Chains A and B, each alone.
Chain A
Amino acid sequence: MRTLEISNLHKEFVDAYTGQTVVAVGDVSFSIEQGEFVSVLGPSGCGKTTVLNIVAGFDTQTSGSVLVGGKQVDGPSPERGVVFQSFALFPWKTVLGNVTFGLRMRGVPRADREAVAHQYLELVGLQGFEAKYPHELSGGMQQRLGVARVLANEPEVMLMDEPFASVDAQTRRKLQEELTGIFETKRPTVFFVTHDVDEAVFLADRVVVLSSRPSQVAEIVTVPLERPRHWRSALDNPDFRHTVTYLTDLLAAGEPNADESEDAPETSAAAGAVGEG
């Protein structure tokens, strides 16, 4: 069953200063199956966040359609919970208050929502922090709270907009591994936007590669990695490395100025990074 179906999505906006019409999203179509993890990968400024914002209902498309659970997207909804790069937690609410927020908005009785909240806090490893405020947590813990807050709502699809881009490299690796673990136990449907090739491959079942502006789907790559996944074994896995190299080449080819310089240096740089990491 298709949870998310994006067809011929097109978005234009008028630049406020120049008055010119800018095409942010050219023509994007792809779908996500229930319980599938899809990474959307693309160079920065390619409009991948715009696609996510349209799916979330924060923004509206110029043409094309987005169906979630068979229904046309119309404004934000708890069926499409979002994990933000900026965490976007409620600083005036405790950890528990943040996790129960969605359930409270939907009128779930207190006892029930607390039971659900505890379950998800345990899932992300935040049990015992219920009474803390977000600013008392580390960046990694804050984003785990961001994930728990969305999952507690049991959405049709969890939208993640470069969620680990603002934490340090080591924490990022840990969070990616934890997210994989959470995905493997709960099997939510995930739409994950990133510009980090390693991250896209490590987490996803399929990677949707967008070209640079006006964005189109360049290719959809299936990741040939078994679950459960761990960084330790993924980095030694030739399939992982090949997929990363392949995607890096694809992205480099999509760059406007990459044509004349061949892809060789880009490839070796990426391979070096993988071997190191």
Chain B
Amino acid sequence: MTNITPSTSGAGQPHPKPGPPKARFRPWLVRMGENRVVRTFGPFVPVILLWWIIAELEVFPSAFFVGPGTVFEKFDELIAKGILPAYLGDSLERLFYGVLFGMLIGVPAGFIVAMSAWARKLTWPLLMFFQAIADIAWLPIVIVWFGFSLTAVTFVIVYTIVFPLMISIVSGVEQVPRDVVRAARSLGAGRLQVFTEVILPGALPAVATGIRTGLGYGWRALIAAEIIVGTSGVGFLMFDSRRAQEVTGVFVGMIVLGVLWFALDALVLAPFERRTIERWGMIRTAEAGR
């Protein structure tokens, strides 16, 4: 075997063989890589394959671990029965209200704390304190106050979103370069104009990060709240399935959560960032598709 290699290369041939196949293979791979669909879903193929193999080999008993096929059937069934769409609708509605109120409170509050040294001094210790109390740690008292209601769940989501949002906005405003503010002032901008023309867009990357982080926390808090408050929703679906010793439902719920986050990122967050901060060259998003 070892002799063959030197002898072929020793023949002094310009190796016409390895060249063309490589050339044909490369563009094919590159072309695959350029395809958005392939790039988005490609990485999941081996994961699903591995999942399927483990399930087929019956490494774990089916009461603990089910394969993609079973989960897909269950998914189909839940959709047909209308349970999944209804629960999903409930979860998204709660998330929507939570995020809406969270942003309505967090964005102005963040800018007030960021812009006023006084407000910062007064509120910073409070911010730190309340940020440290985990969202779910509020659930017991929230349930006492609001019962097992939409209000209780919304409260927890608002709570989780407000603090990271405020803290990112404060650091975002601090990161607006001093010279850019000075440039605006020396071009004739007044204090209000500096805020609307410089501070707001300048802090946008941080606001976007804050919304992303806040949404992620909010989404997790929602599921946790639904598991505990539990009347409907994706979190409730998972918890209810577990109670019924039905692992498949839990799997469905987990996948739905992942897919939803993916969709939210691809349909809302990423396009917004592409059109603003990325267009302006302020940051490059980590997202592969561009």
A residues lining the B interface (CB < 8 Å):
56-58, 75-78, 80-82, 84, 86, 88-92, 101-102, 105-106, 133-136, 149-150, 153, 159
Contact = CB atoms under 8 A, between A and B. Distances in A.
B38 interface: no
Contacts of B189: 101, 105
B43 interface: no
Contacts of A133: 279-281
Contacts, number: 77
B170 interface: no
B281 A76 contact: no
A88 B177 contact: yes
A82 B183 contact: yes
Nearest to B200: A92
Given A76-B182, A82-B182, A88-B182, A149 B187 contact: yes
Q: Which 4 residue pairs spanning A and B have beta carbons closest together?
A: A135-B281, A78-B188, A102-B187, A88-B179
Contacts of B182: 56, 58, 76, 82, 84, 88
A91 B187 contact: no
Interface string B202-231: 101000000000000000000000000000
Interface string B235-273: 000000000000000000000000000000000000000
B186 A81 contact: yes
Given A92-B276, A153-B188, A84 B201 contact: no
Given A58-B186, A84-B179, A92-B280, 18 more contacts: A56-B186, A76-B182, A76-B186, A77-B186, A77-B188, A84-B183, A88-B177, A88-B179, A88-B180, A88-B182, A92-B276, A92-B282, A101-B184, A133-B281, A135-B281, A149-B183, A150-B187, A153-B188
Contacts of A150: 187
Given A86-B179, A90-B198, A92-B204, A80 B281 contact: no
Contacts of B190: 105
For chain B, which range describes its interface: under 10, 10 to 19, 20 to 34, or 35 or more residues? 20 to 34
A84 B178 CA distance: 11
B62 interface: no
B193 interface: yes
Contacts of A78: 186-188
A52 to B, nearest CB: 11
18 contacts: A57-B185, A76-B182, A77-B186, A78-B186, A82-B182, A88-B179, A90-B183, A91-B282, A92-B202, A92-B204, A92-B280, A102-B188, A105-B197, A133-B281, A135-B280, A135-B282, A149-B187, A153-B188
A3 to B, nearest CB: 16
A193 to B, nearest CB: 14
Contact of B280 (A58, A84, A91): A91
A92 B280 CA distance: 5
B150 to A, nearest CB: 38
* Interface of A, helix, strand, loop or mixed by DSSP: loop
A89 B281 CA distance: 12
Contact of B281 (A56, A91, A149): A91
* Chain A CB within 10 A, most for which of B187, B189, B197, B202: B187
Q: Max chain B CB contacts within 10 Å: which of A86, A134, A149?
A: A86
A106 B188 contact: yes
Contacts of A82: 182-183, 186
A99 to B, nearest CB: 10
Given A92-B201, A133-B281, A135-B280, A101 B187 contact: yes
Given A84-B179, A86-B179, A105-B193, A76 B282 contact: no
A64 B38 CA distance: 69
In the complex, which of the residues A57, A77, A90 has the most CB atoms of chain B within 10 Å of its own CB atom?
A90
A126 B201 CA distance: 24
A112 B127 CA distance: 48
Contacts of A135: 280-282
B198 to A, nearest CB: 7
Contacts of A92: 201-202, 204, 276, 280, 282
Contact of A81 (B187, B193, B280, B281): B187
Contacts of A75: 185
